[in-house]
Structure 1
Amino acid sequence: MDFRPVERAPGAFQQGVTAGQVEVMCARAFGAGTRVLAAQELGKGMYNNTYRVELAGQRPVILRVAPEPARQYRIERDLMRNEHASVPYLAPLAAMLPRTLTVDFTHELIGRDYLFQTLLDGVPAAGGLSAYPRPSWTGYFEQLGTLTRRLHSVRGKGFGPVMGPLHERWSDALLAYLADTAADLEQAGLAAGDVRQLAELVRRERAVLDEITEPRLLHGDLWIVNTMISGDAREPTITGVFDCDRTSWGDPESDWTIFMAQRRPGTERDAFWNTYGPLADSWSARRRALIYRARTLGAIRLERHRLGNTEGVEESYSDLWSVLTELATT
């Protein structure tokens, strides 16, 4: 077997599996006689360990392995299980999603959740877009706006992660997320006073948040890095979407995709709104948008800490305080 893992420091958050573990996982998934020809770890992701696995007599497959439970933040707990629970609700994008071949949450083989999926056609947009002139990227972002709108049209029965727990009120779901974020930050040795201050503001302004009464499906991570594009189309053409493990039910305007589309105005990203449509522009909507931005900055701080980005962690404090100041003065 040709095994090519990503080399990481012993204390790194992501910890790969061994060649022997890949073989036993493949044997369980595809039968005892399965012969593994090669397994190459794909190093772009920052949470799960992902491998492209070649099997004798079969198409290549993708193996995704979740972090050990003890390594998972509260706000990222059981993400792979959340994605598995989300599949029926991702139906509007079904033709673009990888098919799950087998799932193992028993922890009998490696003490971690893992699953096998089909390999999507195309090339990762994170690298493939650079092959096109930037003016043509507007078509990519228009497609992304269409896909996001499709997901946001799916209705749920409560607010929170797709696999639960669900809350009747949107404000309760946000407060639960903020409480977990603050606890994660403090467990990591980081100050969380600004996140707790945000939670107090949410408690005072429940009425503004609870104007959102209908839970909609949020992808939570839909952006360039989690899409595939055609390798030979004349214009950037989205052919696949992956890593749907951060799905939840909530206000569409709180979704990660909306946060990212609003960044760098005056660039090709503006084409996103051509197909997604305009955001609400009431006083309440603008206030909710500030709350969502602050919530996202708290989660970003955790990810930067995990990646050892000390400068980025410090920057998150000034960024979040800037939003809190704006909330206090408007």
Structure 2
Amino acid sequence: MSRKIRLSKQQQRQIDRRRRVHSAADDSLERGIVVTHHGHDLLIEDAAHQLLRGRARRTVGRLTTGDRIRWRRDEQDNVVIEQREDRRNLLIRPDAYGKKKMMAANIDQVLVVTSALPWMNPEVVERTLVAVLALPATPVIVLNKADLLPTLPESDRREIEETLDLWTSLGFEVIRTSVKSGEGIESLRNRLREQITLTVGLSGVGKTSLTREITPKADQAAIGEISAFNREGTHTTRASTLYRFPDGDGGLIDAPGVRDFPLETVPSDALAAAFPEITDAAAYCRFNDCRHLNEPGCAVREAAETGEILPRRLAQYQALVEARNAR
């Protein structure tokens, strides 16, 4: 009589892991990417860029837009997602109740969309830049509704122009767009080619209108199928949705409006990249571990006093560092 071997939990996990690796190499599993989801139902794109509806096994875990997956058809010809490939990155956002939710995965770049009207607080944009750099991904700042700039009061227009010039001087790419006039649309399309790009920005900045301008004529049939799947109007923003471009492998992820990103665990290199003027000045501080608070010989504070660094930028940097160190 054979004896049943009992495995420890650790041994069982090791076996399960090997099985997953073996399955990943199985030619019977197809490759795909998550386009959007509605509850437990998923809309995926296969290797031939066809849209398919399916469900994932519980062992796969939660999936989000942009996840690379492996799938097969079962005996009833249903699409079954068997595995999720490792993520390059994952963007998290808090919902209306403060609960963290997955927004998208495997992002190459992020369009940080603001607008001439309503003009977004620059600190909101800069916090978003930190979150994007922490992924890591490449941020691109978009000033939408640029056609409204000449209609604004001179003081408002000057503030916007100075802020855009500052971001440009710090090395961030800034593209001005207008759905109404067509300004910058072609430049933006060229920037999106061959990239998986996520759009973020507060409600009202014209993010979805911009997505419609860039993607709708690309493949109306696919967009109609996505809209029907989500049971919403065209270009729903209740769930992140990937819209593909027909002339390449790139795509644009339209996502719900985001007010803020959690930055308590942001790595130091992301902070350094988001505040390069502070990083450069810090090289001249008397102490290598200078926190730029009350230490003598602080070159960063001196630069802020002379106007080489904006005081609000230094205050924002210090607040982010303090929040990270408080954890």
Could you tell me the TM-score, scaled by structure 1's length? 0.25
More strand by share: 2
More helix by share: 1
Higher relative contact order (CA closer than 8 Å, sequence separation 6+): 1
Could you tell me the TM-score, scaled by structure 2's length? 0.25
